Amino acid sequence: MEMPRPNQDIIARKADLIARLLQVLPVDAVISDPSETRAYECDALTAYKCPPMAAILPTSTQQVSDALRICHDMGVPVVPRGSGTSLAGGALPTADSVILGVARLNDVLETDYDNRIIKVQSGRTNLSVTGAVEEQGFFYAPDPSSQLACAIAGNIAMNSGGAHCLKYGVTTNNLMGVTMVLMDGTITELGGAHLDAPGYDLLGLICGSEGQLGVVTEATLRILHKPEGARPVLMGFDSNEVAGQCVSDIIKAGVLPVAIEFMDRPCIRACEAFAKAGYPDCEALLIVEVEGSDAEIDEQLETIMGIARTHNPVELRQSTSAEESARIWLGRKSAFGAMGQINDYMCLDGTIPVSQLPYVLKRIGEMSKEFGLDVANVFHAGDGNMHPLILFDANKPGDLELCEAFGAKILKLCVEVGGCLTGEHGVGIEKRDLMVDQYAPEDLEIQMAIKDVFDPKWLLNPAKVFPLQSSESHRIAAE
C-alpha cells in the first residue's frame, strides 16, 4: 500500500509544532515521545503501521479548533481518530502527521426523552450512548459489531451500520446534528434537534466522509424506545443458494425483520465453538430476528417460518429464552473475533443487490479454489452487505498479497453485479485504489472538489479514500 512520502520540512519543525500545541492544550493532551506515539501507529487494519509525529487528545471543541488552526497554519496533516477500530485503515497515520484523538471527548451533554434525542461528545462509545438512556427504556439503533469500543466520531466518519440497520437504518439515518470543526479552526453547527436541513444536506455529506471534511466534536443522535421484545429464529440450509433465495422470499412477502444475518459452514463452526449458541452444523445458517410483543412476534414468525419451510431447511428453531437469544447474537457478533482465534483473516465489506446473493456466493467459492485460500462468509443478508473473511497466514511470505488480490477480485465482482466496494467499513486505505473500479474519473473528481471546499489545503486525512494518482493534482494544488 503506497502512502505519500512524508514531508521532511514538517518533521523538521516538530519541536516548534509541539511548543505551539502546548500553548492551547493541557500538557497531558500532547503526546510526542516516539515510545508513546507508537500506540497510534495503526487501527484495526494492523497490516499497515506508521507512528505519527504526534498525537493530541483535546478535551473541548475549542481546543480542537485551536489545535487545528495551528496545524493549518503550519501545513501539518491531521488524521482524526475515534477509537481506532477501523478495519479499512481510516486512522492510519503518516510520519509527518498529527493524530487528533477524540477519546477524551466522551461526555453526555443532554438527554431529552420528550424529543427523543441525546447529545454527546463524539468520543463516546456507541454502546455507552445506549447505556446512557437504557434505564428509561431507550436505545441508539446503529449497532456495529465493534460497538463496545467504537466511538460515535468514527461511526459518523464511516457511516457505520450494524446487524439491525435493515429496520433502523445506518448512522446517517439516525444522526440529527453535529458540531464540526473545519481544518482552519472554524467551528460549524449542522442540524440539531429538528429534522431536515435548511440548506444543502451537509450533515448527510459529512456522514461517511472518513474524517476528510472536518472533525466532529459533538453529535445529536436520535434515540428510540426499545421494542417490547425480540426473538431470533435459526434456519439451517444445505446450500448457500437456497439460503439466499429464502432471504429474498422473506423480504418479498412483506414482513420486514429487524435483522437477517447469514453465516456459512466455516463461520458457523468457529462461532459455535466460541459462543456455544446451539448453531446447527450445516452449509448455511440464517438468523432472522423480529420485534414486538409476544403475540406480534408469533404472528411474524409464523409467516417467516412458513416461507423457510418451502426451502426444506435442515433446522428451523426459534429462540425460547432471552438467554438463548443473547447467545445466538453473541455468536454472530463475535464472528470476526472467533475466526481470528483460528486464523489470520482479511474482512471484506462489499454490498450487492440481494437478488445476486446466490450467484456471488457461488463465484466466491470458485475463486477460493483458484487462489487456494479459504473463505468464511458472514453478512447482513437482508441488505446485501457481505463480509467474506479470507483466511491466510501472515507468517507465510506472499500470503498477504495473495489474500489482497483475492479480496480485490471479490470487491470487483460486487461492483460488477450492481453493488459497491464497501457497505459500512469505509474506503480508508484498504479500498482506496479500487475506487477507480466503481467510479469514473469525473465521479471521483467531483468528490475531490468537495474536499477542496472544506479543506482547501488537503490536510485532513489526505491519503485516504481517493487513489493517490487521482488526488495528486488536488494535493499539489493545495500546497
Please, which of residues 145-174 interact with another protein by CB under 8 A? 158-159, 161, 165-166, 169-170, 172-173
Residues 205-234 that bind another protein (CB under 8 A): 205, 207-209, 225-228
Cα 322 from Cα 293, distance rounded (Å)? 14
Closest CA to 51 of 7, 1, 5, 94: 94
Among 22, 39, 95, 255, binds another protein (CB under 8 A): 255
Check: CB of residue 169 under 8 Å from CB of residue 140.
Answer: no
Q: Which is nearer to another protein, 29 or 163 (CB)?
A: 163
Does residue 453 touch another protein according to CB under 8 A?
Answer: yes
Residues 56-95 that bind another protein (CB under 8 A): none
| 3-class state of residue 291 by DSSP | strand
Q: Which is nearer to another protein, 279 or 379 (CB)?
A: 379
Stretch that binds another protein, among 25-33, 99-107, 196-204, 270-278 (CB under 8 A): 196-204
Stretch that binds another protein, among 29-37, 257-265, 361-369, 425-433 (CB under 8 A): 425-433
Residues 277-306 that bind another protein (CB under 8 A): 292-293, 295-296, 299
The residues, any chain, with a CB within 8 Å of residue 356's CB and separated by 6 or more, are 384, 417, 418, 419
Q: Which secondary structure element, helix H or strand E, spans residue 290, and what is its range?
A: strand 284-291
Count of other CB atoms within 10 angstroms of residue 477? 11
Stretch that binds another protein, among 31-39, 55-63, 388-396, 420-428 (CB under 8 A): 420-428
Does residue 252 touch another protein according to CB under 8 A?
Answer: yes
Closest CA to 247 of 212, 287, 302, 217: 287
The minimum distance between CB 381 and another protein, in angstroms, equals 11
Compose the 357-396 pattern: x for residues touching another protein by CB under 8 A, - for all others.
-----------------------x--xxx-----------
**Joined grid coordinates for residue 57:** 487528545
Check: CB of residue 359 under 8 Å from CB of residue 414.
Answer: no
| 3-class state of residue 99 by DSSP | strand
Stretch that binds another protein, among 46-54, 198-206, 326-334, 339-347 (CB under 8 A): 198-206
Q: Which is nearer to another protein, 122 or 470 (CB)?
A: 470
Sequence-ordered alpha helix ranges (H) in 276-351: 294-309, 322-333, 335-342
The minimum distance between CB 254 and another protein, in angstroms, equals 4
**Joined grid coordinates for residue 239:** 446450500
Check: CB of residue 402 under 8 Å from CB of residue 375.
Answer: no
The minimum distance between CB 361 and another protein, in angstroms, equals 16
Does residue 447 touch another protein according to CB under 8 A?
Answer: yes
Check: CB of residue 18 under 8 Å from CB of residue 76.
Answer: no
Closest CA to 109 of 61, 155, 65: 61
Among 258, 287, 352, 378, binds another protein (CB under 8 A): 352
Q: Which is nearer to another protein, 197 or 342 (CB)?
A: 197
Does residue 111 touch another protein according to CB under 8 A?
Answer: no
**Joined grid coordinates for residue 306:** 412458513
Does residue 201 touch another protein according to CB under 8 A?
Answer: yes
Does residue 37 touch another protein according to CB under 8 A?
Answer: no
Closest CA to 410 of 325, 351, 463, 455: 351
Q: Which is nearer to another protein, 15 or 195 (CB)?
A: 195
Stretch that binds another protein, among 9-17, 50-58, 65-73, 437-445 (CB under 8 A): 437-445
Does residue 199 touch another protein according to CB under 8 A?
Answer: yes
Among 113, 372, 396, 472, binds another protein (CB under 8 A): 113
Among 81, 311, 387, 425, binds another protein (CB under 8 A): 425
Among 29, 54, 92, 190, binds another protein (CB under 8 A): 190
The footprint of another protein on this chain (CB under 8 A) covers a number of residues equal to: 90
Count of other CB atoms within 10 angstroms of residue 9? 10
Does residue 424 touch another protein according to CB under 8 A?
Answer: yes
- At what angle are helices 240-252 and 357-371 packed, to 10 degrees? 160
Cα 469 from Cα 195, distance rounded (Å)? 39
Check: CB of residue 213 under 8 Å from CB of residue 466.
Answer: no
Among 195, 369, 395, 398, binds another protein (CB under 8 A): 195
Among 80, 144, 313, 426, binds another protein (CB under 8 A): 426
Q: Taking the CA atoms of the chain, what radius of gyration do you get in angstroms?
A: 23
Check: CB of residue 179 under 8 Å from CB of residue 220.
Answer: no
Cα 99 from Cα 53, distance rounded (Å)? 8
Q: Which is nearer to another protein, 371 or 458 (CB)?
A: 458
Does residue 110 touch another protein according to CB under 8 A?
Answer: no
